[in-house]
C-alpha cells in the first residue's frame, strides 16, 4: 500500500514488560519501530524507573511517571509487549 505524502503521522507508544537488557519483547518493539511505515512514529519508553504501585505515593511528583503520562497523552495508541515466564503470561 502506497501512502500519500500528506498523510498525517500516527504516533504510537510502545512498552516492553521486560527489564532484561537482552529481552525478546524489547527486541520485538525495536524491530517494529524500524519496520514501521514512514507515517507511523513509534516511541519506545522504559518501565524500569517506574515505582511499584503504592497508594501512599499518589500525590508525589514522580518524573518517570510524569514522562510516561505525557507520552501516553501524545499517542494515538499503545503497544505492550508482555513477557512470558515459566511458559505463562502474567495476568492481572
Residue 71, domain member (yes or no): yes
Report if residue 4 sits inside a domain: no
The answer as to whether 2 is a domain residue is no
CATH for 81: 3.40.50.360
- Output the pTM of the full model: 0.78
Using one digit for the tens of pLDDT, what is the confidence trace for 28-67? 999 999 999 999 999 999 999 999 888 998 889 999 999 9
Residue 44 domain flag: yes
Number of domains in the chain: 1
5 lies in a domain?
no
Per the listing, cell 525495536 goes with 30
Domain membership flag for residue 3: no
**Chain Cα centroid distance, residue 81:** 8
Check residue 18 and report its DSSP letter. Answer: -
pLDDT tens-digit map of 1-37: 555 556 789 999 999 988 888 899 999 999 999 999 9
Full domain range(s) for residue 23: 10-89
CA dist., res. 11 & res. 61, Å (int) = 26
Amino acid at each position: 500500500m502506497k501512502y500519500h505524502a500528506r498523510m498525517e503521522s500516527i504516533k504510537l507508544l510502545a512498552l516492553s514488560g521486560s527489564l532484561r537488557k537482552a529481552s525478546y519483547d524489547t527486541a520485538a518493539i525495536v524491530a517494529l519501530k524500524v519496520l514501521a511505515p514512514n507515517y507511523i512514529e513509534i516511541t519506545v519508553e522504559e518501565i524500569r524507573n517506574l515505582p511499584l504501585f503504592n497508594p501512599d505515593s499518589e500525590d508525589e511528583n514522580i518524573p518517570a511517571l510524569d514522562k510516561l503520562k505525557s507520552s501516553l497523552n501524545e499517542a494515538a495508541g499503545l503497544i505492550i509487549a508482555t513477557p512470558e515466564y515459566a511458559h505463562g503470561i502474567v495476568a492481572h
